Structure 1
Amino acid sequence: MSIQTIDGKALKQMILRAAARLDAEKDAVNALNVFPVPDGDTGTNMSMTLTSANREVERAGDRTVGEVAAALAQGSLMGARGNSGVILSQLFRGFAKYLDGKVTIDGRDLARALQEGVDTAYKAVMKPVEGTILTVAREAAAAAQQASRKDRSAAAVMRAAVEAAEAALARTPELLPVLKKAGVVDSGGKGLTVIYHGYYEALSGEASDVATVPTQIPPEEEPVRTRHDTSPATQVAFRVDEEISDIRFPYDCEFFIRRYRDGGPIPMDHIARELEQWGDSIYVVGSEDLAKVHVHASNPGPVLSLAIQYGDLIDIVIHNMREQHADLLRNAQPAPEGVDAPQAAVAGVAPAAQAEAPAPEEELPTAVVAVAAGDGMAQIFRSLGVSQVIEGGQTMNPSTQDLLDAVERCPSRQVFLLPNNKNIILAAEQVVALTDKKVYVVPTRSVPEGISAMVAWMPDEEDGERLFHNMKQAIAAVQTGEVTYAVRDTVYEDLEIRQGDILGLWNGRIRKVGKEPEAVLTELLEAMVAEAGGEVIAVYYGNGINAERAEAVAEQLRERFPDHEVEMQYGGQPLYHYVFSLE
């Protein structure tokens, strides 16, 4: 029997059913990630985010829908993994905001809560791209609101939302060319439709009979595979890579607005809209009492003048990105020797003395949290002074809660967070507002970038802003290479790839395909040296390579690149035969 109104217990069942269905279908969602390397996948990240929310919901009381929705928002935020998980948590955050204080709801309230979730998620992305999870969520909410004007039954409204979500998902390839070329629908949008199917099944009391769209669509031409680590939406919406030489808005401005004691609530959406006239890369998030602002501006003056109307400005950080880049080009030096401990160089044996950094008795000026996969990588980071190493990387993105817990364990009030993977950066940024410590998220997209950032970190320096500036400068000079294997057949740009082929990636882009890891490593390095130059090659070998083989590879590389210093260390990372940097 379908449910007309929703109480706390019914909402809890909706969430539990959605989590179970997404867990069962996460592999189908993962299959839409056409980039063929072993990687963190959308379905897995969304499922783990919802599973974290599910645990919080199970612990919460179910007397009111407001209580359950608040637990959903809190659990999803703390458990958000990857970009897709962060977007999902924003949908839940707005959903909970509308339901705050409500005991029971009908279909009209449900529709409005879905719309509030959409509004919150869109506010987190000032220039969203259509054909994504956001599009699916928006059209589902609009259909729910329209249906609620005729029938206030919760089940009827949710059915309308599911049907609209499926229709929007089917149109995503028409809205986003990367999907049409790949012959698939959007992975994040697919994950959201699975969740909405779960909601409807809990409300209707039976399996959803709403037709689902095919996830694979016949392309009009031979598909050209391009990477979208989660969904193309999250890749485009949260794009952080910019060509410095062509940048329109050179001032990177970041600060908090703290509401004036006798002032009104901070109008975050109004501020975000106003900022569009002066810059891009905008987000304004937080609460009516404390909001965080980020914008790349042509002139920081008007930005600060606008913001100060609504509260005190605190923790103001402004960087001239053009000047930073120019300084880096003028003053760049090769990374210092000794990134590895002497015992670990070339031989491949991680220094045993650094197996676990002892907890200091007194508070340090600053501390560092780093994400890394592999015991060798973890020990390298500890030898460089990292206080907390979180196991994670490509196939296992740590949650916001994992990152927050590590920050809280650090013996310092100033903590640097190194995600070391571009799909972890957004989850790391959530930590900033969840602790009273000052957290600097250094946007490291690979382990080599993280190591270079640690070389620039100075344990006795108390000026966190200066260290943050130096660490970001250091990672700008790093070229990252990776040698792994293909997990599926595909076509990427002009490369024909078969499952099991060895792939060489340069800064995340597939550049070489072969049959032997060492041959691909050498060919990729030749291309990188020819285009980028550099002086130091630091190679970290994975858990499938033994020390003797690594030593032989190191000697071959020294002969092939006599003008470069070549270092070989044990990384122990899974899935990736070799990870290396060129500086």
Structure 2
Amino acid sequence: MAQVPQTFLDALAVRTWCGLALRAVGRAREEIDAINVYPVADGDTGTNLYLTLESAATAVEAVFTGYETDPAEPRLADAVRAMAHGALIGARGNSGTILAQLLRGMAQVLAADGPEPRGDGPDLRLALRRAADSARRAVAHPVEGTVLTVASAAADAAEGAEGDCAAVARAAYEGARAALAATPGQLAVLARAGVVDAGGRGLVAVLGALVEACTGEAVRETTGPQEVTGAPEAVAEGCGEGPGGPAFEVIYLLEADDGAVARLRDRLDALGDSLVVVGGDGLWNVHVHVDDAGAAVEAGVEAGRPYRIRITHFGAGDVHTGGPGPAPERAQRAVVAVVPGRGLAGLYAEAGATAVLARPGEPPASGELVAAVRRAHAREIVLLPNDAELRDTAAAAAEQARAEGVRVALIPTRSAVQGIAALAVHEPGRRFDEDVVQMTSAAGATRYAEVVVAEHRSWTTAGICQAGDVLGLIDGDVAVIGADVTATAETVLDRMLQAGGELVTLVVGDEAPETVAGHLETRVRESYLAVDTVVYRGGRQGSLLLIGVE
């Protein structure tokens, strides 16, 4: 059945647009993957755009499902906010992250506070301009000849269009097509490969779907004059960043305020390239290419709460899913970890790690860590400091060990439970870089907490505590002040599991009540379905209880 033309955008038109865009990119996915040579020739731009749009479409469908029993219809603002949020949380790769910001920019206009936007031609013109400008600002170092150029051209063309949303959408589409065809003349890597920009090609498909949603007529799907198809390998040789570029792509969602994100941008920009940070209102999607994946994750930890961490080793496939890559070179490898108690020292030793005991109030010096590296007798060392205060000490030890010819990777674990998570995925037979990435990702995906007794009266982030109060710290900050160890621990655990989780790790100190572990295990079993619990005895570890949630 033919679709009725739209003179303005409403929630139903947005829903239709999402569905059409998903199908259009799905049809072009392999073609877009095949021409993906910039910024990295890894042949996944089409796939990343498709997965990002799939998340956006799913979010919009959820809005309509919520109105099934409501006589009212979803508003335009409801639909575009859902579309933008879905794209943000599902964004994949450089292209998907930029698309998420384009959709967010449109939503800022079409879901603006105040009177409901009409969704007419003028509104769509403003939305496309906001989209292009906000996407360009989100990229640390914009490059012409990319999807940013195509988006700007679409907005420029839309600004010169008169009429309803259909006329504006068609003008934007034609402007984008023309800009896409010109991208090989703007970016040498595209000219050498004889292709147009892959991200720009995907955006043209998305804008073509917008035209169809507004007019009811499908656009003629044509490709740029220098576009080629075929296997990614056919166009990747000699293009993109190649061996000289960063080794890893790091992506994560981040809960943080604007000030922290501004500092994060500067930190990540110094670490690598292809930096894109999109989002706002406390939720961000971070994308960067780096050599030190651990440092990129650590920067996120310092800025706020990173989660859904995804690290890909270029040329080795997706390390989370065991993607394809060259057979790993077997090498003698060891893990050196700082642990707070003898119970955990035994646990780490059973897992094959060399443990350095940190007694309460007596953190190890860098010389002790270097001595532990030497004892491990390995050519490759993974170092787990398991304490934020030990980061500099561990870095100094790593530098000294490297000077002695040892290859060392420092994973910025802040708690022994993060170290346990890292150690659980450690595989000595795997290639060193891949093993480090897996361990870093597992540690970064683990929230940590501890329950301690206050030694004196002081100000905390949760208020004033008195000597003898029970404190619950989450990710290093005091979150709960209580009088009872078990009750405080339960409150801390509940707060951590509000954000979801699959596995709870409890490390019980000698001075904790004997019943606390059993009580918390029962709490998890009865209140949180499909969440497992594992309990370890930590000995005299300084804290009454350590909690990890993966």
TM-score (norm 2): 0.47
Ranked by relative contact order (alpha carbons within 8 Å, sequence separation 6 or more), the top structure is 1
TM-score (norm 1): 0.45
